[in-house]
Structure 1
Amino acid sequence: MIETTETMTTRDGVELVATLWRPDVDGRFPVLLSRTPYGRAVEGPGFHLDVPRLVAAGYAVVLQDVRGTGASQGEFRFISGEAADGYDAVRWAATAPWSDGNVGMYGDSYLGITQLLAAQERPEGLRAIAPHVSPAGLYACVYQPGGVPNLNIILTVSAMVLALGELDRRISLGTATQEDKDRYVAAIGLPYQLGERLQELSERLPLSDQPLLADLVPFYAAWMSHPDPRDPLWRGGAVDHSRIEVPALVSTGWYDYFRDASIEHYERLRGESRLIVGPWTHFSHDRDICGRDYGDQASHEAVDWTGVHLDWFGHWLRGAPMRDRARVKIFVMGDDAWHEEDDWPIARARRVPYHLGFDGTLSTRPGAGGEAGFVSDPGDPVPTLGGAVMTFDAFGPLDQRPLDERGDVLRHLSEPLGARVEVSGEVELVARVSSTAPSTDVTAKLIDVHPDGRAELLTDGVARVEDLEPGEVREVTVRLGAIANAFRPGHRIRIDVAGSNFPRFGRNPEKGTTTLHGPSYVVLPTIP
């Protein structure tokens, strides 16, 4: 395997630097291209395939620093500048002397959306893409629909990834020193007080007031100050699926914070695209997530993640027969097994309403009227416990029982199930609410309660209700997103409703009592 450093020039004269790995023989090869802001280490963030194996299979593999990061010139334009540069990079890779003119793109997270934005520009030579855990666009990285900040994600990424990357870049350019980086590392509590320090940062108000990030990640303050998706700040950062013509191997995990965005990519692309969803988080692809073991079929190693991509790109870049023709492969938790489906959403799924009883019950039988309330207090929010969050020790399917003593959570529990119930599809809560405050948030969780009492978090969501009049009862839909879980016999289905889930979601600044009115219900897509 030969490794070289390669440089290309964009249409506006900016030099972008890449590492090239290729077979140690003369010739031209199909190219697998990734574009990253996280550095060009062969095992770096967002780059989870086996490069020596790809090269041994006859590919040239290129990893490029995006504009304004690593060794590349220019100003970093987080997501919003990647379409044009992606087009130029594909054309450069397709016409390089070591290229046979066929280019595929792959990679995780930011490396995923750079593929989609390049593909919408339709560069000649691009044959297929494989975005994994990819966001929908710039605004969707930062906010939930309705302007609720994805605080845990965007603050952690800014403080832990973007800021450190910018410091490394400045050190390489001679505009910062190792001492500058050491001071920053100490300020954010690495390694032992990181969780505490990030919690302190998340509690600062207003959200835009982050002195530690002001110089290193200057666009963070602008993001937090512009929650309206129509603001010009967000232009250029969204994927136009209607312009993408190449097939996509889309993949994600049930505990990935870009899960629903990834699934939407597949749904809007269709055609020859494929979807894979495993029991993974954004950054963990092991069989075990925080003590929950999903079995020997669950990990990237078990499914041969590099082999999956070799099969995909071998077909689209080389014309080889594709061994795995499954259109949709999902890992159904509970069964802890892979299922193949014809499409997503699953056509045979029945959208079954489970009604929230105000005595704490959850049933398919329509409930009577009634009401129950909880206090929503930004000074004492319900703490995040697991789920699709960016932490390093408490994420995914965590037991929710430590929160059971809180009086500001409404819990609705089904009877023990007499038979297996598979819920595979998008879950949503339809709630009728009023509040003593003019604005309130409604958060919801879907939980699998085991016979031993373990309350395993499956998915969650939030909706913000604004401009409420006194006494007004308004219907709100809370999207909890997609899931595939088999509730086993003897298990119970539980829905928790509250006014916060912090710091996963930013707090509503209003304090008040929120009342949940009947009829309210959760819709579970059930597989007969």
Structure 2
Amino acid sequence: MDRRTFVQAGMAGAGMAGLGAAFDLEASTGDPEAPDPRLSAAAEGDVVVVKDVPVPMRDGLELMTDFYLPAENGVPLERQLPAVLARTPYDKMRPISIEHAMFFARNGYVSVVQDCRGRFASPGDFFPFVQEPEDGYDAVEWVARHPACDGQVGTYGVSYQAWVQFETATLNPPSLKTMIPYEGPTNAYTYSMKGGGALHLGLLQWVLSVASNGNEARANPQITEAINEMRTGQGFLEWASRIPWRRGETPLSLAPTYEEAAFQLYFENYDYGDFWRQPGLGMDEHFESFPDMPILWVVGWFDWYPRTISDGYQAMVRMGRENQHILIGPWTHNNFESSIGDVNFGQQGARIRVYDDYLNLELRWFDRWLKGDESADVWAPAKYFIMGGGDGRRTENGRIDQGGEWRYEESWPPTESEDTAFYLHEGGALAPERPSERTSSTTYTYDPRNTVSSNGRCIVAYGPALEFGFQGMGPRDQIEMETLPGHGIPGMPIASRPDVLVFQSAPLAAELTIAGNLTAVLHVSSDAPDTDFYVKLLDVHPSSPDYPSGYAFPVSEGILRARYRESFEQPRLMEAGEVYRLEFPLEPSANLFKAGHRIRVDVYSSSFPNFDINRNTGDPNDRTWRVANNTIHHDTTRPSYVSLPVLA
């Protein structure tokens, strides 16, 4: 079978009306001997690329899809092979998409990349997330029926490309045999846009980003320019401080489809309900519908999504799903650098040092579960990095040596971890002993006009991250960075602020290691009907010649908007003077606190621009503000504490 016949038959035999000519060289050129301009062979002759194949969705819309076919001397292989699929809103013709697609094709897979609905080559309107379950299902099953495919499909991809994998799985496509979600959430409300009920602004900035190159903006460069001015740097901080936005009052109104998405996702569905439970947003509500398949869950400690990846993995294990693996490294979003923020983690025990290492792990994963290669080394089920143990000196690249090491074990969290409470005490102490005071509390004043700067996790690009991108958006010493004029004093320690409560242990007599799930329990009261409570766990290095004031390394964090203390479905405002018990998760973590270091817990009521500014009124649509006097209680009957998973 020659190349023309094979490719033409492959598409014509797919059983889809109107697609017979998609790879039909004669129909495309009028000359059976002339090459289709959509068809090209790689220089080595080992891959044939077929561009812009229209793949039909159930509503009749056709999404543009590129096929990378393993070949010999420019002729696609005749035998059927498994397929790997990446669906993207970021342009299937981006160099990184092409590079990864070529990699899998050269290693024996029908490699497929598709532009999501309404993005780049694919027609239609783009509404993030909601449209992806059905489109993903249809794409998987269409690829599986292609004669070049043996009926098995695996999926991969990072960020939104991880979202679409979870969304596709909610409808249980029979041909989806495995997936590798890398840094994406399993629930848009719980883990992404409404962290603890507060507005998680990273995805709002992302909506602006995709709007800046969406259909409307690509038709009018002035729209791109206007949206870009509000989505980056100081422009985004200023717009974020004006939340809640109103329809028609921002440059986003120039791109109506994206304005609609932003308002439904951020400003019109504050409480958890049916809108969030649909398969495109509440994917974990549909875990039972997922195919019973191997999943490789991947995330970095300083990405958006360590808790959702960790929780999703644990949920599947509890459900009895076999061959669940998790990989957690000391990374930010979509990079595998060991130096991020102003911290260096080293490479002790690293099997992933660069992106190519990760691609080869993905390849081995697909070889194991799509080709049945039991010799493919996919490592232990739980592969995670324990931070800490470094000498705390400034390294050659100017970053502190936090150090760390990899663990390869059978489960996550490790079975030997034990939940241990560290209590907040009067006077700022932190200790495993329960408070003995009958009455003890600390009050601070939170003013929405003077927020604490977010510092230490990859969410919103500002400050140093603007120069270094994702690599810059990692852990940093707890020194205030400039956000909005009049908010904080840039260069001053966050702990020096009067609206930040600091509780820390004595210097540790012996090292202490944590690995697993973390929880905060606070007993609180306030004179405001609503306010936020934010908790950050820190590893405090002692003073050294390189860091005379010590160094506060951010280990974990979490937030809860007080009106959601009982449920996200039915918010309840606070009564002045009433004491409430708040319990909420922090991000999972793994860190070794060296002897001589201190464990510190900071409590405050803002983290901008990672989260929106709570104006303390209790009405999310109110642009007025009020000061809140917030109290943390820490006595014997109302103890406040963090629960840490201490390794025995």
Fold shared per TM-score above 0.5: yes
User: Against the structure 1 CA distance between its residues 212 and 386, is the aligned structure 2 distance closer, same or farther, given a 3 Å change threshold?
Assistant: farther
Map residues 106-505 of structure 1 onto 2, 5 A cutoff. Answer: 106-140=156-190, 142-144=192-194, 146-151=196-201, 153-160=202-209, 162-166=210-214, 169-170=215-216, 176-185=219-228, 187-188=229-230, 194-208=232-246, 211-216=250-255, 217-218=258-259, 219-223=261-265, 224-232=267-275, 235-236=278-279, 237-239=281-283, 240-244=286-290, 245-270=292-317, 271-297=322-348, 300-301=353-354, 304-321=357-374, 322-335=376-389, 336-369=404-437, 370-391=440-461, 392-393=465-466, 395-401=473-479, 402-452=493-543, 453-466=550-563, 467-505=573-611
Match of 1:19 among 66, 70, 79: 66
Matched residues in 2 for 1:2 and 1:42: separation? 18
Conserved in 2, the CA contact under 8 Å of 1:158 and 1:213? no
Give per-residue Cα distances to partners, 1:283-303, cap 9 Å, x unaligned: 332111023111135554288
Alpha carbons 2:192, 2:304 under 8 Å: kept: no
Please tell me the residue identity of whatever aligns with 1:527. L
Q: CA deviation at 1:74?
A: 2.0
Once residues 102 and 300 of structure 1 are traced to their aligned partners in structure 2, the CA distance between those partners, rounded to angstroms, is 30
Between 138-147 and 84-93, the greater mean CA deviation after superposition = 138-147
**Does residue 1:3 correspond to 2:49, yes or no?**
yes
Distance 1:280 1:458, change over 3 A: same
Write the letter of the residue equivalent to 2:366: F
Q: Give CA deviations for 1:388-446 in whole Å, capped at 9, x if unaligned.
A: 42313452211004313211000011111122211111111111111111112110001
Structure 2 residue identity aligned to 1:380? N
Residues 490-519 of structure 1, C-alpha deviations (whole Å, 9 max, x = no match): 111110000111121122211210011112
Equivalent residue number for residue 526 of structure 1: 646
Partners in 1 of 2:337 and 2:379 — Cα distance? 24
- Quick check: 1:34–1:63 contact (8 Å CA) kept in 2? yes
Matched to 1:280, the amino acid is W
**Residue of structure 1 in register with 2:4 after alignment:** none
- Size of the aligned set, in residue pairs, is 514
The answer to whether the Cα contact below 8 Å between 1:443 and 1:478 also exists between their aligned partners in 2 is: no
TM-fit CA distance, 1:477 = 1.3
For the residues of structure 2 that align with 1:499 and 1:171, how far apart are their CA atoms?
A: 37
User: What SS is found at the alignment partner of 1:255?
Assistant: coil
TM-fit CA distance, 1:345: 2.5
- 2:513 & 2:99 partners in 1: Cα distance? 32
8 A Cα contact 2:196 2:559, kept in partner: no
In 2, Cα distance between equivalents of 1:439 and 1:85? 40
AA paired with 1:67? R
- Structure 2's unaligned 5+ residue stretches are 1-46, 390-403, 467-471, 480-492, 544-549, 564-572, 617-626
Q: How far apart are residue 380 of structure 1 and its match?
A: 1.1
Equivalent-residue separation in structure 1 for 2:524 and 2:271 (angstroms)? 23
Q: Which amino acid aligns with 2:208?
A: A
Displacement, 1:222? 2.4
8 Å CA contact 2:386–2:405 kept in 1: the answer is yes
How far does the alpha carbon of each residue in 1:2-58 deviate from its partner, in whole angstroms, 9 at most, with x for none? 2211221111101011122222232232211011111113544xx597443322211
Q: Secondary structure at the match of 1:149?
A: coil
Alignment-mate amino acid for residue 347 of structure 1: T
- The RMSD of aligned alpha carbons is 2.1
Distance between the aligned counterparts of 1:122 and 1:515, measured in 2? 48
Counterpart-to-counterpart distance in 2, 1:478 and 1:163: 33
Alpha carbons of structure 1 residues 205 and 305: separation in structure 2 relative to 1, 3 Å: closer
User: Could you tell me the percent identity over the aligned residues?
Assistant: 31
Question: Matches of 1:49 and 1:499 in 2, distance apart?
Answer: 44
Task: Report the alpha carbon displacement of residue 470 of structure 1 after superposing the two structures with TM.
Answer: 2.2
Query: For residues 48 and 351 of structure 1, what CA distance do their matches in structure 2 show?
Result: 45
Amino acid aligned to 2:193: Y
- Per-residue displacement from partner, 1:448-497 (whole Å, max 9, x unpaired)? 11123100112211112132222211111132120011111211111000
**Quick one: structure 1 residues 357 and 105, their matched pair in 2 at CA, closer, same or farther if it must change by over 3 Å?**
same
Instruction: Indicate conservation of the 8 Å contact 2:191/2:307, yes or no.
Output: no
State the 1:346 CA deviation. Answer: 2.2
**Deviation for aligned residue 1:333:** 0.6
1: CA distance between counterparts of 2:448 and 2:422?
29
| 2:174 partner amino acid | E
SS at match of 1:93: helix
User: Contact conserved, 1:375 with 1:499, CA < 8 A, in 2?
Assistant: no
The Cα shift of 1:75 comes to 2.0
Amino acid at match of 1:164: S
Amino acid at match of 1:398: R
Q: 1:48, 1:363 → 2: CA distance? A: 53
SS at match of 1:79: coil
Amino acid at match of 2:504: L
- SS of 2:155's partner is strand
